[in-house]
Amino acid sequence: MSGNSEKELPEIICILGPTGSGKNRLALELSAFFPVQIINFDSRQVYQGVPIITAQPGKHELQVCPHHLYGFLAPDESISAGRFVEMARDCIAGVSGESGIPVLVGGTWMYLKSLVQGLARIPPVGKDVRRGLQVRCMEEGPEALHRELRRIDPEYAARISSRDRQRITRALEVFQSTGFKLTTWHRNQPRGPFYRVLKLGVLAEWEQLVHGLHKRIQCMLKAGAVEEVQALCRVYGFNPNLPALTGIGCREVMDFLAGDTDMQTCVQRWFKNTRDYAKRQMTWFKKEPDVHWVEAGGFFEAKDMVENFFDRS
């Protein structure tokens, strides 16, 4: 346990839920009544150059209240849970120091867990091991490496997409370098909590969520998602291992730009992979303890929960 009692811990609010459920909308609604500053905990929304395809907050949303850790990382830089935790803790301390309320919004379960409960101290991985796995991923495809990961660490493999190149290679490189599964490292992490947390989960009806995901992809295409990916490819080449282009939607668009698929197939794959990811997110977050679930659009219920949370401080 942390050395502090729960009442002495810094206070944060986390809004979680599947992609497209309306997490950022809820945070913006709360900002009308509380001194909210939004901190991103989505591993895709950290990248420069892909604001459309990763659904980063737009100009209007950024004007409503301060946002942190969105679109700051160069497309060819990698980010880990450890690096995120360091930056998020600095942001939380800064927001709290300004008498603001840190509201973390996102869908990357491991980032949230690492922030609140602590992070395993995994030894550095050799560059040769990392480079070798990246080459294998390009030559054999992420699905082949994911099958290998399922044999080594089935629990972690079940939590990530079979096309998530960055997380698949990370898990394999940790195992090859240390001899221990990534799941084992996570279980041996320092025990928190390091924050007193109000977790608000946005719960959307599945049929409504699926319809919204399809509509959102169409809106991204109209807003210039293809041109966004094309611009990065002109600078960095058609590199599926480019960190900024490892997220859902990017690879599907890259296949279209390379002439490997038509637009209809691109959209179908993009939608399917997004829907499957939303399902996995719901599985993760349903297992997360102490989540107060509110229906999408349930602003007043969430507002009451925030007021009660700080009344008990």
CATH number of the domain where residue 204 is located: 3.40.50.300
Q: Is residue 11 part of a domain?
A: yes
Query: What is the pLDDT confidence band of residue 1, given thresholds at 50, 70 and 90?
Result: very low
Quick one: 175 and 225 in the same domain? no
Nearest to 2 by CA among 92, 120, 121, 116: 116
Query: What is the pLDDT confidence band of residue 2, given thresholds at 50, 70 and 90?
Result: very low
pLDDT given for residue 144 in this prediction: 94
Q: Is residue 70 part of a domain?
A: yes
Query: What is the pLDDT confidence band of residue 312, given thresholds at 50, 70 and 90?
Result: low
pLDDT at 266 over 90: yes
Mean per-residue pLDDT, 150-169: 90
CATH number of the domain where residue 181 is located: 1.10.20.140
Mean model confidence pLDDT for the chain:
90
Q: Is residue 175 part of a domain?
A: yes
Quick one: 42 and 170 in the same domain? no
* Cβ–Cβ under 8 Å, residues 119 and 29: no
Q: Is residue 1 part of a domain?
A: no
Quick one: 92 and 12 in the same domain? yes
- Residue where one domain finishes, among candidates 135, 165, 187: 187
Considering only 93-97, 176-180, 227-231, which range has the smallest mean pLDDT? 176-180
Cross-strand partners of 202? 294
pLDDT given for residue 5 in this prediction: 58
Quick one: 146 and 206 in the same domain? no
- Residue where one domain finishes, among candidates 136, 153, 187: 187
Quick one: 211 and 144 in the same domain? no
pLDDT given for residue 3 in this prediction: 45
Structural domains of the chain, count: 2
- Residue where one domain finishes, among candidates 148, 170, 187: 187
Quick one: 178 and 193 in the same domain? no
Mean per-residue pLDDT, 173-194: 84
Q: What is the pLDDT of residues 26-80, one digit of tens each?
A: 999 999 999 999 999 999 999 999 999 999 999 999 999 999 999 999 999 988 8
Strands (E), the chain: 11-16, 36-40, 67-68, 101-105, 196-203, 291-295
Quick one: 11 and 89 in the same domain? yes
Helix (H) or strand (E) holding 145: helix 142-152
pLDDT given for residue 231 in this prediction: 97
What are 159's two structure tokens? 């939590």
pLDDT at 220 over 80: yes
Report the sign of the C-alpha dihedral through residues 228, 231, 235, 240, in that order: positive
Burial 56-70 (b: 16+ CB within 10 A, else e): bbeeebeebbbbbbb
Q: Is residue 260 part of a domain?
A: yes
Q: Domain of residue 152: give its range.
A: 127-187
Q: What is the pLDDT of residues 117-130, one digit of tens each?
A: 887 778 788 888 98
Q: Is residue 264 part of a domain?
A: yes
Cross-strand partners of 13? 103, 198
- Distance, first Cα to last Cα, the chain: 20
Backbone angles phi, psi at 19, to 5 degrees: -60, 135
* Cβ–Cβ under 8 Å, residues 118 and 192: yes
Quick one: 93 and 235 in the same domain? yes
Own/partner pairs, 122-131, CB within 8 angstroms, 24+ separation: 122/82, 122/174, 122/178, 122/182, 122/185, 123/177, 123/178, 125/173, 125/174, 125/177, 126/177, 129/173, 129/176, 129/177, 130/169, 130/173
- Percent with pLDDT over 90 in the chain: 65
Quick one: 141 and 237 in the same domain? no
Quick one: 34 and 72 in the same domain? yes
Q: Is residue 282 part of a domain?
A: yes
Q: Is residue 44 part of a domain?
A: yes
Quick one: 280 and 237 in the same domain? yes
pLDDT at 186 over 80: no
Quick one: 234 and 110 in the same domain? yes
Q: What is the pLDDT of residues 241-263, one digit of tens each?
A: 899 998 999 999 999 999 999 99
